[in-house]
């Protein structure tokens, strides 16, 4: 098959980028021809609120001159505008309910505009893929052919290196913005026992608050943005990974990678976590926006190695279902189904 992937990004450690990297590698390894249009090879304005709008316009212009494809797989709603220009079957991957995310990040006015655009975009597609059953229910009710496929990893490519900096070490590795729960992390960190060291990895709008706390408390360490290899080695070297997100699309790649590294996780029951994680089986589940629960969970698990080991082993069993060798063929099945219709 000749496949075009249109994505806001294909590089870095963000969820959409990692999805595109894994899907592209799987498809090429199985003999398919794949081209990618992304912000890395298309003009965009590198300013937070202008990056996606500029990508929408520039990618739309670029696809006017694209060759013919059997199928175009657009990633996220912002890529749907460019998808309109391309011949072939049209599949849209939705990694989170777009207008809800925009509403949280940019306010109600922008959220309402995003909802209007999303409604139009759904009329341009033959089908959509989603990474959580919550999204499957939401979009299926709109009468669109919708397929659920969980996020996936190449387990063989997960780094085996380990970086432990402190005897008792926990890690947060995500965007430093409120939807990822960083404000709850900072509130919890002020009460964290001094012998438990919290490493914070990432960048984002709340970065100054993180830096300020790390200057005041010797057990809070801000490491900034780290590449994937460094991030994975720190996760593998930690006793726990915490990710108290307020909202998610599918099960986040950071959680998947922590499971693959054998590092127990504390997270909220949002998005794709509902489909995969069970409290005290393969994760410690807490309520969103609850720093006290986060604090209690950390102390409980840090004082109970047996519970951590049980969570680790069950998560290692579960992660096998998220390897690209399992999920990748399901994408090919969907492609073939669309092409035969």
Asked if the model's pLDDT at residue 107 lies above 90, the reply is no
Is it the case that residue 114 has pLDDT exceeding 90? no
| Residue pLDDT, tens place only, 21-31 | 999 999 999 99
What distance separates the 2 farthest-apart alpha carbons in the chain?
A: 62
Confidence grade of residue 12 (pLDDT, cut at 50, 70, 90): confident
DSSP string computed for 211-245: HHHHHH-TTEEEEE---HHHHHHHHHTSSEEEE--
**143 pLDDT higher than 70:** yes
Q: Which one, of 231, 161, 226, 220, lies nearest residue 195 by Cα?
A: 220
Model pLDDT, residue 187: 98
Enumerate long-range contacts of 217-224, CB under 8 Å, 24 or more apart. Answer: 217/189, 217/190, 217/192, 218/194, 219/192, 219/193, 219/194, 219/195, 220/189, 220/192, 221/165, 221/197, 223/199
Q: What is the pLDDT of residues 146-170, one digit of tens each?
A: 999 999 999 999 989 999 999 999 9
Domain 155-322, CATH among 3.40.50.2000, 1.10.10.10, 3.40.50.300, 3.40.50.920: 3.40.50.2000
- pLDDT recorded at residue 3: 97
In the chain, residues under CATH classification 3.40.50.2000 are 2-152+323-340, 155-322
Average confidence score pLDDT of the chain: 94
pLDDT, one tens digit per residue, over 258-312 is 999 999 999 999 999 999 999 999 999 999 999 999 999 999 999 999 999 999 9
Q: Which of 81-95, 97-111, 314-328 has the lowest mean pLDDT?
A: 97-111
- pLDDT, residue 103, reads 67
At the topology level, CATH places domain 2-152+323-340 in Rossmann fold (3.40.50)
Q: How confident is the model at residue 66 (pLDDT cuts 50, 70, 90)?
A: confident
* Local confidence band at 131 (pLDDT 50, 70, 90 cut-offs): very high
Full strand arrangement of the beta sheet holding 284-286: 220-224, 197-201, 169-173, 240-243, 265-268, 284-286
What's the pLDDT score for residue 178? Answer: 93
């Amino acid at each position: 098959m000749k496949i075009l992937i249109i994505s806001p990004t294909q590089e870095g450690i963000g969820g959409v980028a990692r999805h595109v990297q894994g899907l592209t590698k799987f498809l090429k390894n199985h003999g398919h021809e794949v081209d990618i249009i992304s912000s890395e090879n298309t003009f965009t304005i590198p300013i937070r609120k202008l990056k996606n709008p500029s990508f929408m316009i520039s990618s739309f212009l670029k696809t006017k001159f694209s060759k013919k494809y059997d199928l175009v797989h657009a990633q996220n709603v912002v890529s749907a505008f460019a998808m309109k220009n391309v011949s072939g079957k049209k599949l849209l991957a939705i990694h989170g309910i777009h207008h809800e995310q925009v509403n949280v990040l940019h306010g109600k006015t922008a959220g309402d505009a995003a909802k209007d655009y999303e409604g139009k975009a759904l009329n341009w597609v033959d089908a959509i893929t989603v990474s959580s059953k919550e999204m499957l229910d939401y979009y299926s009710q709109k009468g669109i052919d919708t397929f659920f496929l969980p996020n996936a990893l190449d387990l063989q490519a997960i780094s085996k290196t380990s970086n432990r900096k402190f005897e008792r070490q926990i890690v947060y590795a995500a965007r430093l913005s409120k939807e990822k729960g960083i404000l709850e992390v900072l509130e919890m960190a002020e009460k964290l026992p001094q012998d438990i060291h919290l490493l914070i990895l990432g960048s984002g709008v709340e970065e100054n608050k993180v830096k300020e706390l790390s200057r005041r408390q010797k057990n809070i360490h801000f490491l900034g943005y780290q590449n994937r290899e460094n991030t994975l080695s720190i996760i593998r070297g930690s006793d726990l990974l915490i990710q108290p997100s307020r909202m998610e699309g599918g099960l986040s790649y950071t959680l998947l990678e922590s499971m693959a590294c054998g590092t127990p996780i504390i997270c909220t029951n949002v998005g794709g976590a509902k489909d995969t994680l069970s409290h005290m089986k393969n994760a410690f589940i807490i309520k969103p926006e609850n720093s006290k629960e986060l604090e209690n969970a950390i102390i409980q698990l840090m004082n109970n190695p047996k519970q951590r080991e049980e969570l680790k082993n069950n998560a290692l069993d579960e992660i096998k279902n998220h390897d690209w060798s399992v999920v990748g063929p399901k994408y090919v099945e969907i492609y073939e189904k669309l092409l035969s219709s």
